[in-house]
Amino acid sequence: MESSPLPAATGQQSPAISVTELFTIGIGPSSSHTVGPMRAAHDFARSLREDGIVPARIKCDLYGSLSLTGKGHGTDGAVILGLAGETPEGVDPDAVPALVERIRNEKHLPLGGGEEVPFCEAKDLIFHKSFLPAHPNGMAFTAVLADGSRIVRRYYSIGGGAIRMEGEQPVRANVEIPYPFGSADELLAIGDATGLSIADIVRANEAAWRDDAETDAFLGAVRAAMFGSIDRGCKGDGELPGGLKVQRRAAAMKQKLLDRGPRADPGLVFEWVSLYALAVNEENAVGGRVVTAPTNGAAGVIPAVLKYYETFVHGSTPEGSRKLLYTASAIGFLYKKRASISAAEMGCQGEVGVACSMAAGGLAAALGGTNHQVENAAEIGMEHNLGLTCDPIGGLVQIPCIERNTMGAIKAINAAYLALHGDGRHIVSLDQVIETMRQTGEDMKSKYKETSLGGLAVNVVEC
């Protein structure tokens, strides 16, 4: 039978996004407040070194959400590390405290990993409560030269660890992907016209950047990093840093579950899934290595659902795991293109809500769901996270963030199975729920969007 023509990609004004941009491996506790600022600082230091500039002094001004919750999110240490040439992907999490402490004590840092320049944190790393106009997560880096002149660049941490320098368009290879899509409707139409699954569509698009084996290997590394964070999180104990005296629970919870014997009680499944998410986000809270999926604050949802699929679903396969991640990435692309995954813009609906939506769609695909059932699952995952605020106590990615990931993972599994019981037809579309999330985020007061000025952050007394 002759296939029908592919639909025009009317929503594809923005450049294509790759899975390597959506899933990145970095350190905790926050993609927007730790990973993004580290990348921005690294970029500024690198540009100075490439131009042969050795400043007499270097400084950073943090604004908006980066300032209001920066201390709790480790933004100060992230900036120091980035200026010293470290990257989220490359730095050893265990070495971070000593690296930062040395720079603070010596009041010098190796700019971009090279020549030492003066840096006094008390004078050169300033937190401002005001907001820059372009984004709630703003920062300005200044290189003061020997003659008194200055080089100033502003950056914005726009979610998921991604950064944008003010006045500069995103630099991305001008590739033509075979199946461009800017909406869920377009994505479904491509699948209807070609017979391809959502995972197949994404994999075919990724081939515009690299061969299939390389992309599969990348997702294999993402899976390994996700499961590695679960394993490490299940071994840690003691208090989480930051002063809230939050005790790590994953190790004790795992031992209790093991002591209860074989996993015959169906209710234990949900306890294990909660454990997986809890472990990842406790690891994130101590600055350990996690996958931004799509953010650090929501890093536990997709790993927990993926672990659920591989552990508890009879007949699970490596191909099913890849399908889950490819499909989840397609859903993540839609949120990045049509709204935002930044809690400073959307509240936690843009982080845990998006992760839940991605995981729900990915699991539905791995379980054999049609494209329309996948879209339904993703819609359900977000519909019941609409309006979720981001109000971390003490500016730390701990309360309510850690437990919220367990809820997001359980909700994603529920959404997937609900969708699979239907035939893909439903009232609210994924595009409509994404637009609703965007509008809700814009209407949400800033005090509920990662500023710690409202909600639990002001109603719970810090001890």
Q: Mean per-residue pLDDT for 136-141?
A: 96
The β-bridge partners of 247 are 239
How many CB atoms are closer than 10 A to CB 37?
Answer: 33
| Beta carbons of 29 and 287 less than 8 angstroms apart | yes
Q: What is the DSSP letter of 180?
A: -
**pLDDT on residue 175:** 79
Secondary structure class of 274 (helix, strand, coil): helix
| Beta carbons of 39 and 87 less than 8 angstroms apart | yes
CATH numbers and ranges of domains, the chain: 28-165 (3.30.1330.90), 178-448 (1.10.4100)
Q: What is the pLDDT of residues 56-76, one digit of tens each?
A: 999 999 999 999 999 999 999
Q: Mean per-residue pLDDT for 2-25?
A: 64
Q: What is the pLDDT of residues 204-258, one digit of tens each?
A: 999 999 999 999 999 999 999 999 999 999 999 999 999 999 999 999 999 999 9
Q: What is the pLDDT of residues 243-271, one digit of tens each?
A: 999 999 999 999 999 998 766 677 899 99
Q: Is the pLDDT assigned to residue 174 strictly greater than 90?
A: no
**pLDDT on residue 15:** 78
Residue 382 backbone phi and psi in degrees, to 5: -85, -35
Q: By percentage, how much of the chain surpasses pLDDT 90?
A: 91
Assign 12 a pLDDT band (cuts: 50, 70, 90).
very low
If we measure between CA atoms, which residue out of 175, 201, 203 comes closest to residue 187? 201
Q: By percentage, how much of the chain surpasses pLDDT 70?
A: 94
**pLDDT on residue 426:** 96
H/E stretch holding 140: strand 137-144
Instruction: Give Cβ neighbours of residue 328 (< 8 Å, ≥ 6 apart).
Output: 302, 358, 359, 361, 362
Q: Mean per-residue pLDDT for 339-352?
A: 97
Q: Is the alpha carbon torsion for 7, 174, 182, 210 positive or negative?
A: positive
| Beta carbons of 206 and 18 less than 8 angstroms apart | yes
Burial of 5 by CB count in 10 Å (0-12 exposed, 13-18 middle, 19+ buried)? exposed
Secondary structure class of 177 (helix, strand, coil): coil
Q: What is the pLDDT of residues 109-127, one digit of tens each?
A: 999 999 999 999 999 999 9
Amino acid identity for residue 387 in this structure: G
pTM: 0.91
Half-sphere exposure of 379 (CA within 13 A, CB side): 24
**pLDDT on residue 86:** 96
Question: Which segment of 96-105, 169-178, 268-277 scores lowest on mean pLDDT?
Answer: 169-178
Instruction: Give Cβ neighbours of residue 352 (< 8 Å, ≥ 6 apart).
Output: 297, 298, 301, 385, 388, 401, 404, 405, 407, 408
Cis peptide before 55 (omega within 30 of 0): no
Across 46-136, the runs of DSSP E, i.e. the strands, are: 57-64, 108-110, 116-118, 125-127
Q: What is the pLDDT of residues 293-334, one digit of tens each?
A: 999 999 999 999 999 999 999 999 999 999 999 999 999 999
H/E stretch holding 71: helix 70-73
Q: Is the pLDDT assigned to residue 10 strictly greater than 50?
A: no
Q: Is the pLDDT assigned to residue 461 strictly greater than 70?
A: no
DSSP for 21-52, please give it: HHSEEEESS-IIIIIHHHHHHHHHHHHHHHTT
Assign 345 a pLDDT band (cuts: 50, 70, 90).
very high
Q: Is the pLDDT assigned to residue 417 strictly greater than 70?
A: yes
Q: Mean per-residue pLDDT for 32-38?
A: 95
**pLDDT on residue 267:** 82
**pLDDT on residue 453:** 95
